Amino acid sequence: MSTILPQYEILGRGKEPRNVDDFKGMRIRAVGGVGQAMELLGATRVTVPATETYTLIERGTVDAVSFPYTYAHAAYRIHEVTKWYTSNLQPGTAECPIVFNKSAYDALPADYKKVLEDIKAEAYQVQKAKYVSADEKNIPLFKSKLTEIVYTDAQRAEIQAKVGQPIWDKWVADNKGKIPAQELLDFILAEAKKAAGK
């Protein structure tokens, strides 16, 4: 099952990225697809373990940090050494699955497998509730200490065209013939629009 990580956002210090061009030259701790997105915006991706990010931004080795919003930034206390945060950039997220060794799983009794399958729905609800409670605590904390950066719909569309579309197109091309990549992407984008009420 998935750990359904929230969308990432960025906390930083120094120049605030108020428009797309402001990301050029920034050094951002970002991993995976979010790191690729930051590079397409002109930033330099810095890939380091999460536990090193506080020290890196405190010392000025990086300008900003990308983590799942808000719980991860608060867990690593990034808000203590930054000046601003993005609240609706939503450059993507990462998949963080829970997996079993196939042989070990196959060796489980059928009733154990059923318990594992049955508990997933409840586990997802607990995850969602924990993210909501983290936001209820952390968003007011961020707002009280940091400058919030909110992007307009036009700015987000510009970022999507510059960053999202090329990454999606490459992913579809890389997976063509392996899976129904375009159909899967279309489905995900349609569901995201429904969830956002657009």
What is the mean predicted confidence (pLDDT) over 125-152?
96
Output the six-digit token pair for 167: 């990454």
What is the mean predicted confidence (pLDDT) over 146-150?
98
| pLDDT for residue 178 | 95
What is the mean predicted confidence (pLDDT) over 143-151?
97
How many CA atoms does the CB half-sphere of 92 hold within 13 Å?
A: 18
Contact 106, 169 (CB under 8 A): no
| pLDDT for residue 27 | 97
Exposure string of 2-15, with b = 16+ CB inside 10 Å and e = fewer, is eeebbebbbbbbee
What is the mean predicted confidence (pLDDT) over 10-14?
96
| For the chain, domain boundaries | 8-151
Distances, alpha carbon 158 to alpha carbons 27, 37, 155, in Å: 21, 13, 5
| pLDDT for residue 18 | 95
| pLDDT for residue 192 | 84
Average pLDDT, the chain: 93
What is the mean predicted confidence (pLDDT) over 97-122?
95
Of the two residues 197 and 72, the one the predictor is more confident about is: 72
| pLDDT for residue 195 | 82
Lowest mean pLDDT of 13-27, 89-103, 116-130, name the range.
89-103
Listed in sequence order, the residues at least 6 apart from 11 whose beta carbon sits closer than 8 Å to its beta carbon are 57, 64, 65, 67, 73, 78, 79, 82, 84, 85, 86, 142, 146
| pLDDT for residue 47 | 92
Q: Which amino acid is at 91?
A: P
Phi and psi dihedrals of 191, rounded to 5? Answer: -65, -40
| pLDDT for residue 198 | 61
Output the six-digit token pair for 178: 């392996």
Q: 82 by DSSP, 3-state: which?
A: coil
Pairwise CA distance, residues 125 & 123, whole Å: 5
Pairwise CA distance, residues 54 & 153, whole Å: 31
Which superfamily does CATH assign the domain made up of 8-151 to? Bacterial extracellular solute-binding protein, family 7 (3.40.190.170)
